[in-house]
Amino acid sequence: MPSKHIFFVVRYSILLTGGGSWKAAKQDLSAYRRQLFAEERLDERIRLFEGLTLQSLKSQQFDADVSVSLVILTSAELPAHAADALDRSIQALPDWLDVKVVQADASGPGLRQLTQTAIDSLLSARMASSGVPYATVRLDDDDILSRTYVQALSRYVMHTFNDMAVSFPKGLIGTVSRENRRIDSVRRYYAPKHAQGIAHIASWSPADETPPRRNIFDCGRHTEIDTAVPTILDASFDSYIRTFHGSNDSGSVDKHAGWIEELPAAPPQALEQFPDEVFDAKAVTAAADARKDVRQRECQQIFAKLQACQRERGRLRRTLESRWHRKIGNKLRR
């Protein structure tokens, strides 16, 4: 029986009025509901979730002492066609990934309580009577994780790190093609305490009458998580791809294009840590070739400037030598 457990918690088109749906508080609820459940948006989200996020979860590599669950928090109001599409995606997942879908009422419990209730039910059904360390991982429905994410996180899933957070700050930025919903351009990215895959470590025992009610959604804003709990930063590998596309909650690709373009290009070996299926291979290769051409032109321009500087240096040296020889000659003639 596994001695540690990892829960991925995904918010999938969830509508909560009690603070769980961060945009709901910023606009009229009825308008937010229409936007959240718009057919075009839901069709886009399932394509991203299925083709990117679930693909990366299916590719996870880990040891036998680890078990993995996926908790999907969605809305009880999710339209039938979207709920059916979500169910079909879940049915295609491997047996080792235990999935629990929680359909939440808009005015019901918040994210923290929904998450903890789901975790407790899964742990009590599958874990031994002894204390079990576990991690809750925040994962958005368009995030991509490295194949080795679970393996890396499992090193910290132990009682030693109880009530601590883990952040893997090193990763990539990927823009998503509008044509096939695959990554077509990739950049290097480093962001401590970013949202993608940030985790909280806790422990559980069915013998406890009041088990700890602590999970990743108890820890406040991810950017300030180190003010809530001690936080481990592990930048030993590229752990995630943060995606930008047409339906980001944080804004469109065009809104972020400026600062993304300034990031360094990701080397080919960085892409090898992620499943091939999430990439538009031809587009990524073409983008890499284009950046290579740009670098070559920049190098050629720099080389040309260096050559010009060397020629100018030679001309100045010859001029100075000529003047020095004339000066010495004049002195000798005197």
Q: Which of 19-33, 80-94, 307-321 has the highest mean pLDDT?
A: 80-94
* pTM recorded for the entire structure: 0.81
Mean pLDDT for the chain?
86
The pLDDT of residue 2: 80
Average pLDDT score over residue span 17-23: 58
Do 265 and 324 fall into the same domain?
no
User: Domain range for residue 292?
Assistant: 282-334
Do 194 and 73 fall into the same domain?
yes
Do 166 and 294 fall into the same domain?
no
Do 163 and 189 fall into the same domain?
yes
Candidate from 24-28, 116-120, 196-200 with smallest mean pLDDT: 24-28
Do 309 and 272 fall into the same domain?
no
318 vs 187, higher pLDDT: 187
Work out how many domains the chain is built from and give that number: 2
The pLDDT of residue 256: 72
Candidate from 158-172, 189-203, 204-218 with smallest mean pLDDT: 204-218
The pLDDT of residue 284: 67
Do 226 and 329 fall into the same domain?
no
Do 65 and 206 fall into the same domain?
yes
pLDDT at 333 over 70: no
116 vs 25, higher pLDDT: 116
Do 258 and 315 fall into the same domain?
no
Residue-wise pLDDT tens digits, 229-287: 999 999 999 999 999 987 666 555 667 778 888 899 898 889 999 999 999 876 665 45
pLDDT at 296 over 80: no
pLDDT at 326 over 80: no
Domain boundary among 254, 279, 304: 279
28 vs 81, higher pLDDT: 81
Residue-wise pLDDT tens digits, 199-217: 999 987 666 655 556 899 9
The pLDDT of residue 206: 64
Do 320 and 171 fall into the same domain?
no
Q: pLDDT band for 301, please (50, 70, 90 cuts).
A: confident
pLDDT at 129 over 60: no
Q: pLDDT band for 22, please (50, 70, 90 cuts).
A: very low
Do 122 and 201 fall into the same domain?
yes
Do 91 and 224 fall into the same domain?
yes
Do 295 and 256 fall into the same domain?
no
What's the 3-state SS for the chain? CCCEEEEEEEEECCCCCCCCCCCHHHCCHHHHHHHHCCHHHHHHHHHHHHHHHHHHHHCCCCCCCEEEEEEEEEECCCCHHHHHHHHHHHHCCCCCEEEEEEEECCCCCCHHHHHHHHHHHHHHHHCCCCCEEEEEEEEECCCEECCCHHHHHHCCCCHHHCCEEEECCEEEEEEECCCCCCEEEEEEEECCCCCCCCEEEEEECCCCCCCCCCCHHHCCCHHHHHHCCCEEECCCCCCEEEEECCCCCCCCHHHHHHHHHCCCECCHHHHCCCCHHHECHHHHHHHHHHHHHHHHHHHHHHHHHHHHHHHHHHHHHHHHHHHHHHHHHHHHHC
